[in-house]
Structure 1
Amino acid sequence: MDAYDEGSSARHGPSGPDPRRALPGPAPASDDPADAPGRRAAPPVPGAPAGLPPAPRAPADGPGRSPAGPPPEPRTGVAALSLRYQIGAAMALAVVAVGVCVHLGMTFLHVAPANTVSKKHSGTIENWIYPEFEQNWKLFAPNPLQQNIAVQVRAEIRTADGGARTTGWYDLSAQDGRAIDGNPLPSHTQQNELRRAWDFFVATHDDDNRPVGLRGALSESYLRRITVLRLDRADAAGPGGLVERVQVRSRTTNVPPPEWSGEKVSTTPVYRTLPWWPVPEDEARGGVG
């Protein structure tokens, strides 16, 4: 019997397509390199949703493409400025550096012992130092003050009714001290005016308060004008009163030494009282004479 007969004695094979049918043609070409012959498709990532296209590959380095790596950090500070501003900042820094060097040099020559340079340029050094940068000590031979000197003044007042009275002592140094204490920027007047006036008087007078040299009278008028102005600010004359004479004195006390030194110093104040000075009428009314 023929094997292709459909009788009962025919051989039964597995069900499926007829092997005599035409075979399918070749599959269309794919642009995906993974589908090319000899290449394997990447295994699916566990947990990734199906149907998503594969991640694109990083482009290889080549012309027109930036190399891989972190971007450069932005410039900060002076480096971030343009060239014009960098030049300006450099010039400003140079000016400040030159000014600091000049100031340090002038201060050194001022406090150093006398030498050829300080003698030759003494006028320039003094104009730079005085009055703002004055030093009260000398380099290699410091002389810190070991005494407290207070300048005090009292006045004879002609009252409005024609009478006369004498005021108590006004401690002008204590007034300056209260103005300076706790003040981060005290004025030059509060710090030095009264002290320099008294030093000027002492340097131009002997122990009997007589002037020595041509500057003695100048120091007296300078100190007198300062005291009269201070009395006018304190309204010492009162309503209708007028300052006729003033008298100045100094009160000097030694600075006590530290307890560990064992040094014994008297703390009893010493007074130096000057004679009465008549006050010109224009000075008494707040002028300068």
Structure 2
Amino acid sequence: MDAYDKGSNARPVPGEPEAAVPDSRPPEGQETSDGHETADDHGTPDSQGPPVGQTPSARIPQQYGDQQEQPYEGQPYGDQQYDGQYDDTALAGPPLPPPPAGIAALSLPYQIAAALALAVVAVAACVHVGMVFLHVAPSNTVTKQHGQAIDEWIYPEFEQNWKLFAPNPLQQNIAVQVRADVRAADGEIRTTRWYDLSALDGAAIDGNLLPSHTQQNELRRAWDFFVATHDNANRPNGLRGALSEKYLRRIVVLRLDREQAGGRGAVVQQVQVRSRTTNVPPPKWSQEQVSDKPIVRQLPWWPVSEADRAAGTRPGESTGTEASAR
């Protein structure tokens, strides 16, 4: 039995050769009992400390199981100069992609609904641009075959005109006036006075910093639309004649109802429209001579239907039959 097998305090027997003391270090590349690995430079001069001029704290601690010597500060480290600090980005991995935004952030049903809504808006915009282009373009095969559909899309809301850039702008004041036959609450038929609708619009605009588009242009454009589609005998000269007449009639019926023509509870039976045109006087320094006599254009009586009354007017009792035109 070996003398060293008796314990750590055993001594060698006198007269016997000393047994070789076993090396307490494990072989190179194997772990010790405390989990550390041995290095192959144990006991060598290179392992005694950092190079001259370096402090022991500048040496980067080795990771367990790493047999490769870490470089010191200022020594080459791969393709870069090592500065003694760890690179945390190397351990963090590639950056995460940003979260989805916009429509991509929605669920699949909402993405489909949003795509359909955008498609409808795009189609409507393309149709509108195409209709406006065909309206302002010179006469062609498409406008000849589908002129009525184009006009119904454009008029009256999207009508295009070039009066702002005309070389000879309007030099007349045109007042649109209307009167009506109304059935009063007692059943009597009465004829109202003439209502100057243009003067009422002018009074609403005067002193108003933000007048509405309706106050400024609705009545004026309706009258221009009627004049452009009728001859001097007030007969329609195209397909838009009936449309312009209906548009103007519904506007004046609405305005008469707003003014309570004929008294409270009166029902409009038929209306008559006229225009009173006067020339704008030239400036004093001008030698131009214009007539100051007004020109009156009076239209025939128009019967008012239930559809005309329903277009924004107050409800009234129906007479069952419309009054005949005078």
State the TM-score, normalizing by the size of structure 1: 0.50
Q: What secondary structure does 1:250 align onto? A: strand
Counterparts of 1:96 and 1:128 in 2: how far apart (Å)?
A: 17
**CA distance 1:266–1:42, change in 2 (3 Å):** farther
Counterparts of 2:181 and 2:194 in 1: how far apart (Å)?
A: 11
Counterparts of 1:142 and 1:108 in 2: how far apart (Å)?
A: 24
Tell me the equivalent position of 2:153: 128
Contact 2:183–2:267 at 8 Å: present in 1 too?
yes
238-247 or 115-124: which moved more?
238-247
Post-superposition CA distance 1:179-235 (Å, at most 9, x none): 677355749xx95467536753785453xx575789999998986786566445423
For the aligned residue pairs, the C-alpha RMSD in angstroms reads 5.9
Counterparts of 1:212 and 1:59 in 2: how far apart (Å)?
A: 87
- Which structure exhibits the higher relative contact order, with contacts defined as CA atoms closer than 8 Å and separated by 6 or more residues? 1
* 1:174 partnered with 2:174: no
Question: How many residues end up aligned between the 2 structures?
Answer: 236
Counterparts of 2:302 and 2:146 in 1: how far apart (Å)?
A: 42
Tell me the equivalent position of 2:57: 42
**CA distance 1:125–1:286, change in 2 (3 Å):** same
Counterparts of 1:90 and 1:160 in 2: how far apart (Å)?
A: 56
* 1:270 partnered with 2:294: yes
Tell me the equivalent position of 1:103: 128
* 1:78 partnered with 2:102: yes
**CA distance 1:118–1:204, change in 2 (3 Å):** closer
Counterparts of 2:113 and 2:182 in 1: how far apart (Å)?
A: 63
Q: What secondary structure does 2:174 align onto? A: strand
Counterparts of 1:214 and 1:243 in 2: how far apart (Å)?
A: 29
**CA distance 1:197–1:89, change in 2 (3 Å):** same
**CA distance 1:86–1:155, change in 2 (3 Å):** closer
Tell me the equivalent position of 2:72: none
**CA distance 1:166–1:74, change in 2 (3 Å):** same
- In the TM superposition, residue 104 of structure 1 has moved relative to its aligned partner by 0.9
- In the TM superposition, residue 118 of structure 1 has moved relative to its aligned partner by 1.6
Match of 2:137 among 112, 115, 118: 112
Tell me the equivalent position of 2:79: none
Tell me the equivalent position of 2:276: 251
Counterparts of 1:265 and 1:58 in 2: how far apart (Å)?
A: 96
Q: Percent of counterpart pairs with the same letter?
A: 48
Matches of residues 13-24 of structure 1 in structure 2 within 5 Å?
none
Contact 1:111–1:135 at 8 Å: present in 2 too?
yes
215-224 or 109-118: which moved more?
215-224
**CA distance 1:107–1:241, change in 2 (3 Å):** closer
Q: What secondary structure does 1:200 align onto? A: helix
Q: What secondary structure does 2:125 align onto? A: helix
Contact 2:229–2:244 at 8 Å: present in 1 too?
no
Contact 2:226–2:244 at 8 Å: present in 1 too?
yes
* 1:66 partnered with 2:92: yes
Counterparts of 1:88 and 1:225 in 2: how far apart (Å)?
A: 39
- In the TM superposition, residue 105 of structure 1 has moved relative to its aligned partner by 1.2
State the TM-score, normalizing by the size of structure 2: 0.46
**CA distance 1:151–1:269, change in 2 (3 Å):** farther
- In the TM superposition, residue 272 of structure 1 has moved relative to its aligned partner by 0.6
- In the TM superposition, residue 251 of structure 1 has moved relative to its aligned partner by 2.1
Tell me the equivalent position of 1:196: 222
- In the TM superposition, residue 177 of structure 1 has moved relative to its aligned partner by 5.2
**CA distance 1:142–1:217, change in 2 (3 Å):** same
Q: What secondary structure does 2:159 align onto? A: coil
Counterparts of 2:115 and 2:283 in 1: how far apart (Å)?
A: 50
**CA distance 1:251–1:92, change in 2 (3 Å):** same
**CA distance 1:220–1:99, change in 2 (3 Å):** closer
